[in-house]
Structure 1
């Protein structure tokens, strides 16, 4: 039996943060019902490329769920949803603050229907504060929290290639707090309201910078700290064949061996050596040879060095195969592709290795008065 088997999750969210959160709950055994707009459904269904009728993004994020289409603005929408709300355990939504209240589905209204419900709102800025109702995307949350300002190349911030706010600031904290709330409900018999703000949760990723700033007023700037580009020991160096070496020999034991392997002069190895000069000296030596050369040099050595892989190379890595990371599949439009890995431990996942994302309004729940 899976740990969340028997739990009903009503998911009013679209796109990424909420659907990722409910995917994790579904992987752990919960029944997840998406409440979607009639005709179009979740906006992500329309994205490209397609896998069957819907986008591959939608298929990856919504496998193993069910779908009910309902116009939330209809006068009878709340009444029609009431039977589901009465037996639901979790509700997830990510509208801007105030929208669910206007629809008659705000927490206080829903709590009167089902006081045991765990109600989770995911937004960019949270339910309170001067930015609460402001529009934003991942890039905006990174920019305004200071995270983007820590990155840089040539004096310009680097556009992140991961949606850290949506997933690390939204989906993962939502699941964490939903599980806390369900545990608390086991003791009290009552649900609660969860205000998950993606921007708030980005600050956790900058613990070291906050420590430097709060403790010594040494606030980090752009790419000037140990793990952001200020050190030769945590750096990306180009190779002779146009690829890159990700070198992270931070600790002395790793650094000394790394220096031996690239034949760095003794004067460049000490803590007192100017960082920019050391970076230049290391870079000059790395760029003399190809990535294949350096892969062979560092193979089996304890130096924390890697050749930067493409995504295609990454998913085909022997480690990924050994961990069976892409063993599960999603089925859509007569095609099967590897399913999106979720952080649910294999112990808690179902035995089913292939699941599909729901077609819009495919679920016919007898308790929903349609």
Structure 2
């Protein structure tokens, strides 16, 4: 089956984190992506890393006049340029949007940064934890005592790469009507803020407080949190709706009518302690069997190694075993068409920059 981005050419100026992740998704969707790496880049960032799958790579020194000229020649033939430099860096190299527009007005210049292209912090360094700390997201996640970084999923990938991909796809669609490319300014501080929109709405409705571990989705509610089992494993409980909550209570061997009102937040602590005591009586395997196939919204908390072997994940091939022993790899998402890809695209290949420019010409 033809992939939707077949025929789209993308130049990716090598970076780390969300930029390569976005380029991976675009390659998964069929785009021809060429990754331009700096001389001396470690091999694991050029050939076999998971997020670098499905595209070719070339080595170029953007400070070298000849290499820079070759990269510019590629950009002239490209549909999209993906980069993650601080604002102003590419402009100084003659690869900024104003420069590329003169030679390729159809180019979509996709810029992946933490702070965005403008604002007082635009030129300063940062990481995922910093970007989400200024949006309220980090404050809302964690224990009552401390905010806890949610890996780097909210800023780098949710607010970063996924927003960049959305912008590129929208710009490609618009270009079909106008014939003109544009700049995609994907700042993680913006993307993370958009991810918060649903919670901000609850806050405006007085259904969410600024106190951590005090809300329905932050681990405070007895029906939306994790519980430890007798073997050290954990179960995830998401029984928000009353009918699902009733099945949770039933599975725990409790009587619904004998429990305190779960809609009264003052009962949450006592209900959580009651449920915790029940879960602690049996192993994770026991509770998995009890709730398997029910609508109680109760599932085991699996490690990466365990997740790849879960029946549903295995059937969907959401995660598969990688080439190295113990390796786990995510496959393509979203899936388009009746038949999903059987496996992720293979590792990247390296080739000479001049040969690739000639090929694109």
CA distance in 1, matches of 2:147, 2:343: 43
Unmatched segments (≥5 aa) in structure 2: none
The residue that corresponds to 1:249 in the other structure is 239
Q: Alignment RMSD, CA only?
A: 2.9
User: Conserved in 1, the CA contact under 8 Å of 2:48 and 2:347?
Assistant: no
Among 289, 301, 304, the residue aligned to 1:308: 301
Q: CA deviation at 1:35?
A: 1.4
Q: Deviations over 1:170-198 (max 9, x none)?
A: 11111111111111111111111110011
Q: CA deviation at 1:158?
A: 2.1
Q: CA deviation at 1:336?
A: 12
User: Conserved in 1, the CA contact under 8 Å of 2:10 and 2:32?
Assistant: yes
User: Conserved in 2, the CA contact under 8 Å of 1:240 and 1:289?
Assistant: yes
User: Conserved in 2, the CA contact under 8 Å of 1:210 and 1:219?
Assistant: no
The residue that corresponds to 1:2 in the other structure is 3
Among 108, 119, 134, the residue aligned to 2:124: 134
CA distance in 1, matches of 2:226, 2:46: 32
SS at match of 1:245: strand
2:75 counterpart of 1:85: yes
Q: 1:328 to 1:110 in 2, by over 3 A?
A: farther
The residue that corresponds to 1:31 in the other structure is 32
CA distance in 1, matches of 2:90, 2:281: 60
CA distance in 2, matches of 1:89, 1:21: 15
Among 282, 286, 289, the residue aligned to 2:282: 289
Q: 1:324 to 1:121 in 2, by over 3 A?
A: same
Among 337, 350, 357, the residue aligned to 1:359: 350
Q: Deviations over 1:63-118 (max 9, x none)?
A: 22112212112234443333212211100110011111111111001111110101
Query: Matched residue pairs, number?
Result: 355
Q: CA deviation at 1:204?
A: 2.5
Unmatched segments (≥5 aa) in structure 1: 47-52
Q: 1:234 to 1:363 in 2, by over 3 A?
A: farther
CA distance in 2, matches of 1:267, 1:351: 50
Among 103, 121, 130, the residue aligned to 2:111: 121
Q: 1:296 to 1:64 in 2, by over 3 A?
A: closer
SS at match of 2:349: coil
The residue that corresponds to 2:189 in the other structure is 199
Q: 1:9 to 1:161 in 2, by over 3 A?
A: same
CA distance in 2, matches of 1:141, 1:185: 31
Range 360-369 or range 130-139, more displaced: 360-369
SS at match of 1:175: helix
Q: 1:354 to 1:156 in 2, by over 3 A?
A: closer
User: Conserved in 1, the CA contact under 8 Å of 2:18 and 2:160?
Assistant: yes
- Structure number with greater CO (CA < 8 Å, separation at least 6) is 1
User: Conserved in 2, the CA contact under 8 Å of 1:28 and 1:350?
Assistant: no
Among 268, 271, 275, the residue aligned to 1:278: 271
Q: CA deviation at 1:223?
A: 1.6
Q: Deviations over 1:197-244 (max 9, x none)?
A: 111111232223311334549643212110102211101111112111
